[in-house]
Amino acid sequence: MKIKISILIILSVMMGCDKGFEDINKNPFSPTTTDIGPLFNTVVSSLRMGWSEQFYMHNEKLYQVTQQAALTAETFQNISIGTEEMWAQYYTALAHIRELERRFDAYEGDQEALNNVKAQLKILTAYKTFRVTDLFGDIPFFQAGKAYESVDFARPAFDSQEEIYKFLLGELKWAVENMNLDPNPQTAAGNDYVSLGNFDTMFGGFLRQWIKFANSLRLRHALRMADKDPAFAHPIIQEIMGGNLDLINEGDDVLMVPRDQNWLNQSLNWSFREHKKLRLGTTMWNTMSETDSISGSGIFDPRALIFFETNNAEEWVPFPQIPDANTPQSGGIPYQTSRDFGHDFKGESNIYSPFNYYLVRDEQDVPQIIMTAAEVHFIKAEIYLRGIGMAANVPLAETEYTSGVSASIKFWQDIMVNSEIWVNKAPILSSSEIFQRINHNRMSIFNPANDKLELIYTQRWVDAFRQPWEAFSLLRRTNATPREGAANQFYRFVYPASEAEKNPDNWNAQVQKMGGDRDNVKCWWMP
């Protein structure tokens, strides 16, 4: 059973709470206005991506930078609208996180009894903060979100990404080591552990899934900084890999599924139908098809039929990743909801292959992805192949790579199968058919003509198709993802203008430290 993040507040209230939750709501630990359960769920619900974040940061910039898709025209130059939204959403959530931390600190009972709920909050905080610092670099963190405590925190200083990374990796380690998985845990003093009970809307009370998520986050980000600070990162990798610690595996994918959470993901289709300019690009096409046949006969990667579809003439035509002045533009209505009533009509001027309509139309069954088993397999494959923090093991790297591609194909097939509205679904491949595709000469890690590390990076890049921020981090760390044209020089998003307006002294100090608030300033962990 896939573990899906659920925001089932109404159901939770009806079902009540587990043992220990009543005590946590007593003053001074919890004021009468907001209980800890709904407050915790406010943080969980903040994992939903913002409308403008998807429109301006993902569709207008990251897909173009990562070359996971092609931008047919740079129509919108308002990326700051997306960064403002993401910045505000993060710091609003961080204020809620700080309030929960304050209540934990003020709890007058047995502090050990709070270990599980503290661990859950630390893991959420780590995920959210890693995502923001990876996109911006240094950010306010240690003093941020505390303005309600004192005016001294109203304008927080910027903290280095290095300090933030190392702190969060330590927090994740604490969470794993202090979470008690006993069915009815008690402290050394004989007190019951406090439990979120049915208010654990992240993993439905399965604490082991929290541990798998925490270990997987540690591994992802330790690898990300491994070349920058091997003395710090390698022991973490050794601890997790050498200790065979629990990680996300098949069936453990961490997802935000609207149908399970009782919400509609209306921002997804909006970000595509209003933007309109994304199409299949030649970079992705060349990783999925061995020929340029417009019939699609050269396609060897089955995910191509899930990620993209034919143009209005039912032909497979990618947009040139590096267009010239004579490249015809693409129009049409490939993402308009009118296709609900006439699926095949995409507009006469839609001459290039768009994203699959249902992948960006389904408001209930297509998930927002946080972390998958496939990604973990690719991370492990790179670690084994390069011998990062441990001895190199090529056979294990090959096994993890193969498992990663298989898990990715099955994952994307499941998304298509589970969508109630998806029309013209691609053929469902059996395990043996998937294995045959993985052994295609262009994908096979056993083909001596293929560079094993390049394959690992390529397939992790493909799998992150709906996580362009993760593909962006992979590109910046390795400079080895599929690419046409010049090397990437976009390294980060500039800070939102509101930060310069509301926190001018600290913003100025940070900009001087960086040598300018520019998008070509490298993040700390970049080579």
Query: Residue 26: what pLDDT?
Result: 41
3 state DSSP class of 352: coil
Task: DSSP letter for 368, please.
Answer: E
User: Tokens representing 527?
Assistant: 């080579």
Question: Which residues, 6 or more positions from 326, have their beta carbon under 8 angstroms from its beta carbon?
Answer: none
CB 10 within 8 A of CB 49: no
Question: How many other CB atoms sit within 10 Å of the CB of residue 336?
Answer: 18
Q: What whole-number distance in Å separates Cα of residue 320 and Cα of residue 495?
A: 31
Q: What whole-number distance in Å separates Cα of residue 382 and Cα of residue 445?
A: 12
CB-based contacts of 415-419 (< 8 A; 24+ apart in sequence): 415/306, 415/359, 415/365, 415/366, 415/367, 416/306, 416/358, 418/365, 419/358, 419/362, 419/365, 419/366
Query: Residue 197: what pLDDT?
Result: 81
Q: What whole-number distance in Å separates Cα of residue 414 and Cα of residue 408?
A: 10
The dotted CATH code for 7-45+78-205+494-527 is 1.25.40.390
Instruction: Please report the sign of the dihedral spanned by the C-alpha atoms of residue 283, residue 284, residue 290, residue 296.
Output: negative
Query: Residue 7: what pLDDT?
Result: 34
Query: Residue 5: what pLDDT?
Result: 42
Q: What whole-number distance in Å separates Cα of residue 481 and Cα of residue 283?
A: 10
3 state DSSP class of 418: helix
Give the pLDDT confidence of 497-525 residue by residue, as tens digits.
Answer: 999 999 999 999 999 999 999 999 999 99
Task: DSSP letter for 428, please.
Answer: P
Q: What whole-number distance in Å separates Cα of residue 87 and Cα of residue 66?
A: 22
Sequence ranges of the domains in the chain: 7-45+78-205+494-527
User: Tokens representing 281?
Assistant: 């690009």
Give me the residues paired with residue 189 across strands.
none
Whole-angstrom CA distances from 414 to 101, 365, 371 are 38, 10, 16
Neighbour-count burial of 30, counting CB atoms closer than 10 A to its CB (0-12 exposed, 13-18 middle, 19+ buried): buried
Whole-angstrom CA distances from 494 to 71, 133, 280, 515 are 21, 12, 27, 13
CB 339 within 8 A of CB 329: no
Across 10-106, where does the E strand assignment appear? Answer: 70-71
CB 411 within 8 A of CB 250: no
**Rg for the chain (alpha carbons), in Å?**
23
Look up the pTM and report it: 0.93
CA atoms within 13 A on the CB side of 447: 13
**Below-50 pLDDT ranges, the chain:** 1-34
Q: Maximum distance among all alpha carbons in the chain? A: 76
Taking all residues of the chain, what is their mean pLDDT, rounded to a whole number?
92
HEC profile of 266-322: HHHHHHHHCCCCEECEHHHHHHHECCCCCCCCCECCCCHHHHECCCCCCCCCCECCC
Q: What whole-number distance in Å separates Cα of residue 324 and Cα of residue 356?
A: 25
Edge to edge, the sheet with strand 368-371 lists 4-5, 254-256, 368-371
Give the pLDDT confidence of 55-85 residue by residue, as tens digits.
Answer: 999 999 999 999 999 999 877 779 999 999 9
Cα–Cα nearest to 500, from 491, 490, 511: 511
Give the pLDDT confidence of 280-319 residue by residue, as tens digits.
Answer: 999 999 999 999 999 999 999 999 999 999 999 999 999 9
Query: Residue 260: what pLDDT?
Result: 87
